[in-house]
Amino acid sequence: MNVGTRRIAFINETGGVGKTTLAVNVAAFFALKRNKRVLLLDLDTQGHAGKSLGLDVRSLSPTMFHLLTRDDVSLDAVTRATAVKNLWVVPARKDMADFPVSAANLPEREHRLARRLADQDGRYDVLVFDAPPSMGLVTTNVLLAANEVVIPVGTTYLGLDGCAEMAATVERVSTQFNHPELKVTRVVPTLYRKTALSDEVIATLKEHFDRRVSEPMHFNVAIDEAQGHGQTIWEYAPWSRGATILQSVAESIDRAR
Ligand SMILES: Nc1ncnc2c1ncn2[C@@H]1O[C@H](COP(=O)(O)OP(=O)(O)O)[C@@H](O)[C@H]1O
Ligand SMILES: [Mg+2]
């Protein structure tokens, strides 16, 4: 794999914390605002990364599941163009749920994704991974294919607990599978509303992660609406407060390396 390719994973086993929203919009940020060639890889059964970009993922085949389980299905065959210049996506669908069983007897099943991306030969400058809301074989595959980990954390008491857990998991995978480049580069406080508790949560995150904590992703309805229209914030509402919020988070992720 091209050493210059950035490989950024959005991970948290808690659902609804903004992984997909960030993965899609940060991928589009690199494509549109940094003029990079970007491949967004969806690993979640819900298929929301593709759906957020306006793809009808239910009718698509082959998809991520086939890339992971069949050597005769190429990366090109599962890669779809999007309406965003410089942005391509490998969509996922419900059948991703069968991956752990289908992969049970495959050699090096934890490295399937990394191996299948090895032949992309620097065609992309940035790979962005949208992980499922669970720890398990799929997320291990994501962590072994990535080297930068971004943890979106809901600014709630339990969100804090989950973040510590995720950071420990990343370290364990890095050690167990001898993947020392894997690092948590950013923690993004998400679904932020200005309350005393949210600010306390951010202060505690900063005690642990220091300057790796990005600007918070404020709750903003345009961010939600954009997904309903199958668009990124940069297309749907480029001058909105939502765009300003996502831009500062994306810039912070860009600066992480
Ligand atoms: N900053 C935000 N403002 C408004 N809605 C948001 C924001 N971040 C996420 N959402 C909404 O919250 C829901 C969950 O976000 P999502 O990115 O799908 O989380 P995850 O991928 O972690 O499950 C989605 O409907 C999304 O549109
Ligand atoms: Mg998601």
List, for residues 79-117, the tens digit of each pLDDT value.
999 999 999 999 999 999 999 999 999 989 999 999 999
User: Which two tokens mark 110?
Assistant: 């934890």
Residues recorded for the chain: 257
Pocket test for ligand 1, best of 142, 155, 166, 224 (most atoms within 8 A of CB): 224
Q: Is residue 206 part of a domain?
A: yes
Which letter does DSSP use for residue 31 in this model?
H
Pocket test for ligand 1, best of 11, 19, 20, 21 (most atoms within 8 A of CB): 21
- From residue 124, how far is each of 4, 21, 75, 127, 170 by CA, in Å? 9, 21, 12, 7, 24
- Pick the atom of ligand 1 nearest to 152's CA: 22
Going by alpha carbons, the residue nearest to atom 6 of ligand 1 is: 224
- From residue 35, how far is each of 41, 113, 209 by CA, in Å? 18, 25, 30
Nearest C-alpha neighbor of 254 from the set 1, 38, 68, 19: 38
Q: How far is the CA of 125 from the centre of ligand 2 (A)?
A: 23
Judge whether residue 1 has pLDDT over 60: no
Going by alpha carbons, the residue nearest to atom 5 of ligand 1 is: 224
Q: Which domain holds residue 126?
A: 6-255
The CATH number of whichever domain residue 18 belongs to comes to 3.40.50.300
> Which ligand sits nearest to residue 44's alpha carbon?
2
**Count of domains in the chain?**
1
Positive or negative: CA dihedral 97, 98, 100, 101: positive
> Which ligand sits nearest to residue 159's alpha carbon?
1
Q: Is residue 1 part of a domain?
A: no
Q: How far is the CA of 151 from the centre of ligand 1 (A)?
A: 14
Q: Is residue 113 part of a domain?
A: yes
Q: How far is the CA of 253 from the centre of ligand 1 (A)?
A: 18
Which protein residues touch ligand 1 with a CB less than 6 Å away? 15-21, 48, 133, 190-191, 217, 219-221, 223-224, 227
- Residue 245 near residue 218, CB atoms below 8 Å: yes
Q: Is residue 125 very low, low, confident or very high in pLDDT (cuts 50, 70, 90)?
A: very high
Q: For 227-256, how does the pLDDT look when each residue is reduced to its tens digit (9 = 90+)?
A: 999 999 999 999 999 999 999 999 999 999
Q: Is residue 245 part of a domain?
A: yes
- Residue 246 near residue 29, CB atoms below 8 Å: yes
Q: Is residue 18 part of a domain?
A: yes
Q: Is residue 150 part of a domain?
A: yes
Q: Is residue 165 part of a domain?
A: yes
Place of tokens 């001058």: 239
Q: For 190-239, how does the pLDDT look when each residue is reduced to its tens digit (9 = 90+)?
A: 999 999 999 999 999 999 999 999 999 999 999 999 999 999 999 999 99
Q: Is residue 90 part of a domain?
A: yes
Please tell me the pTM assigned to this model: 0.97
Q: How far is the CA of 216 from the centre of ligand 1 (A)?
A: 13
- Residue 40 near residue 90, CB atoms below 8 Å: yes
- From residue 90, how far is each of 11, 41, 105, 152, 201 by CA, in Å? 17, 5, 24, 21, 34
Place of tokens 């669970």: 134
